[in-house]
Amino acid sequence: MNTSDSVKEYAMGNFPITPTASATQNACKLCAPLGASLVFKGIRGAVPLLHGSQGCSTYIRRYLISHYKEPVDIACSNFGEQTAVFGGAVNLKLALENICRQYDPALIGIATTCLSETIGDDVPMFIKQYLAGQPEGTVPPIVHASTPSYQGSHMEGFHRAVLATVRTLATQAGGIKQNQVNLFPGMLSPADLRHSKEMVVAFGLEPMVLPDYSQTLDGGLWESYHRIPDGGTPVATIAQAGTAAASIELGHTLALANETAALLLAERFGMRAARLGFPMGIRHTDALLQTLSEISGRPVPAIYREQRGRLLDTLVDGHKHVNNIRAAVYGEEDLVAGLVGYLSEIGIHPVVCGSGGQSHHLAEVLEALVPESWRKELTVLDGADFAAIEAAVEKAKPDLIIGHSKGYAMSRRLSIPLVRVGFPIHDRMGGPRLLHIGYEGAMALFDRIANALIEQRQDGSEVGYTYM
């Protein structure tokens, strides 16, 4: 269990936070196997399998279904008291047999839970023993990611699953393909994933996107139930990751990690690894497009110059509504960093930045993203729960809060408007279709932020004005 004593508050801010309890109160993170399950849902024909208890898989399905509004099957090895004492080898073998028989999957992704990790189950050995007893070619590839939640958040689980998938599948058979690019986008929305693929294709490149749940978790209406939804990146395409000309990895704090999928491919096959922040706003979208231009040898397409121009015009039109606004931001570390970089571009001062993640890079990254003159009023909370975040927000008194639905109660208590971004969004429609990245994502987010501020002022007006 994380405790409030583990919250790191960095000296940039002027608002000291004193823990009032010894246990986490409403964590600002989710469990590591959830992130791994999301990755496996982004692989075509894959079935996620949690090695642990039914409660873990039920919890994860509930969160994913509530946000994406799609059916989500997650298998489970169904730990009980006896399994917790004697180990889960038999349960895992039975789960693998049931999945193969009922789903005929193209891949099985195993994520371990706290319980199986605590008792010390040797899952790689269990997989090896299971495969040894099966006729060759009758079992799909099996990927195992170690994801105990006591060692990280859903983002750690997400990135560990991406790394494990690449480590298990990627080869260099067939030689280098100069028009192929590996894209590791991080935990973005399905709308963001679709937009990122369009950006890569616009340069004449073929993207291998891992994960790609843009269709599996945001698809069309079915006439009959699909046990495995259409969509996702094919296993064969992931296996060819070693033949790409380059890898692009998105994430501000991820770019400081020592072990990632892009670095693994660079070490194995000598390919370029471009490690960029989330392309939110002008500066980081520029960086992504410039990187794609360098890899492809092509200029930035005219469509993006047009989008950039519309974004600049939008910022000029609405600058009066957002200039010198003070905001609190919370969520996954890389999303917080991407938002802070964007807010700094449009004149909104971030005064509280909170995350349940514990990469210990967040303060370092944010310091580089905000103007020096703003840093003295910025409080960064690392490994924080909502009790600590709310205490900081209450003292800072920002005009706006930006984050996911778990902060709604805080927003309501403090009477500060909440602009919903990230995961999970349980209390509004359209979470999977929110666009954050690229110039168009920046325009959409600007409108939502400006309109939230206008609505607050309008509702607080004695006359309720209808014209600006």
Q: What is the pLDDT of residue 4?
A: 43
Q: How far is CA 376 from CA 10, 348, 382, 400, 415, in A?
A: 11, 15, 17, 19, 25
Question: Can you tell me the distance from the alpha carbon of 406 to that of 427, in angstroms, rounded to the nearest whole number?
Answer: 9
Report the largest interatomic distance among the alpha carbons of the chain, rounded to a whole angstrom.
77
Residue 87 vs residue 10, higher pLDDT: 87
What's the average model confidence in pLDDT over 51-61?
91
Question: Can you tell me the distance from the alpha carbon of 435 to that of 445, in angstroms, rounded to the nearest whole number?
Answer: 8
Span of 4-18, 360-374, 424-438 with lowest mean pLDDT: 4-18
Answer yes or no: are the C-beta atoms of 426 and 183 closer than 8 Å: no
Answer yes or no: are the C-beta atoms of 253 and 185 closer than 8 Å: no
Residue 8 vs residue 37, higher pLDDT: 37
What's the average model confidence in pLDDT over 114-119?
89
Answer yes or no: are the C-beta atoms of 348 and 449 closer than 8 Å: yes
Token readout for 138 is 């009758």
| First-to-last C-alpha distance (Å) of the chain | 50
Percent of the chain with pLDDT over 70: 95
Is it the case that residue 6 has pLDDT exceeding 70? no
Token readout for 394 is 């209450």
Question: Can you tell me the distance from the alpha carbon of 253 to that of 357, in angstroms, rounded to the nearest whole number?
Answer: 10
- Among 334, 333, 340, 377, which residue's Cα sits nearest to residue 355? 333
What's the average model confidence in pLDDT over 405-431?
95
What's the average model confidence in pLDDT over 107-123?
93
Question: Can you tell me the distance from the alpha carbon of 64 to that of 62, in angstroms, rounded to the nearest whole number?
Answer: 6
Question: Can you tell me the distance from the alpha carbon of 439 to that of 434, in angstroms, rounded to the nearest whole number?
Answer: 13
pLDDT digits 0-9 by tens, 165-179: 999 999 877 678 889
What is the band of 8 on the pLDDT scale with cuts at 50, 70, 90? low
Question: Can you tell me the distance from the alpha carbon of 86 to that of 60, in angstroms, rounded to the nearest whole number?
Answer: 25
Answer yes or no: are the C-beta atoms of 116 and 145 closer than 8 Å: no
Is it the case that residue 198 has pLDDT exceeding 60? yes
Which DSSP string do the residues of 383-437 spell out, in sequence order? S-BHHHHHHHHHHH--SEEEE-GGGHHHHHHHT--EEE-SS---SSS-GGG---S
Q: How far is CA 352 from CA 257, 340, 400, in A?
A: 24, 10, 11
Is it the case that residue 11 has pLDDT exceeding 80? no
Is it the case that residue 152 has pLDDT exceeding 60? yes
Domain 177-302 sits in which CATH superfamily?
Answer: Nitrogenase molybdenum iron protein domain (3.40.50.1980)
Question: What's the CATH code, domain 32-169?
Answer: 3.40.50.1980
Write the class of the CATH domain 4-24+304-460: alpha beta
pTM to 2 decimal places: 0.92
Cis peptide before 140 (omega within 30 of 0): no
What is the band of 10 on the pLDDT scale with cuts at 50, 70, 90? low
The whole-angstrom distance between residue 305's C-alpha and the CA centroid of its chain comes to 27
The CA R_g of the chain, rounded to the nearest whole Å, is 22
Residue 2 vs residue 70, higher pLDDT: 70
Is it the case that residue 324 has pLDDT exceeding 70? yes
Give, to the nearest 10 degrees, the angle between helix 154-169 and helix 261-269: 20
Answer yes or no: are the C-beta atoms of 256 and 338 closer than 8 Å: no
Is it the case that residue 15 has pLDDT exceeding 80? no
pLDDT digits 0-9 by tens, 200-236: 999 999 999 999 999 999 999 998 989 999 999 999 9
Token readout for 66 is 């509530």
Read off the amino acid at residue 413.
R
Q: What is the pLDDT of residue 21?
A: 58
What's the average model confidence in pLDDT over 63-91?
89
Q: How confident is the prediction for the chain on average, in pLDDT? A: 92
Question: Can you tell me the distance from the alpha carbon of 310 to that of 316, in angstroms, rounded to the nearest whole number?
Answer: 10
What's the average model confidence in pLDDT over 86-110?
93
Q: What is the pLDDT of residue 411?
A: 96
- Among 187, 237, 225, which residue's Cα sits nearest to residue 72? 225
Answer yes or no: are the C-beta atoms of 78 and 442 closer than 8 Å: no
Give the start-to-end residue ranges of the domains of the chain. Answer: 4-24+304-460, 32-169, 177-302
Find the Cα–Cα–Cα–Cα dihedral 260, 33, 169, 232, rounded to 10°.
-100
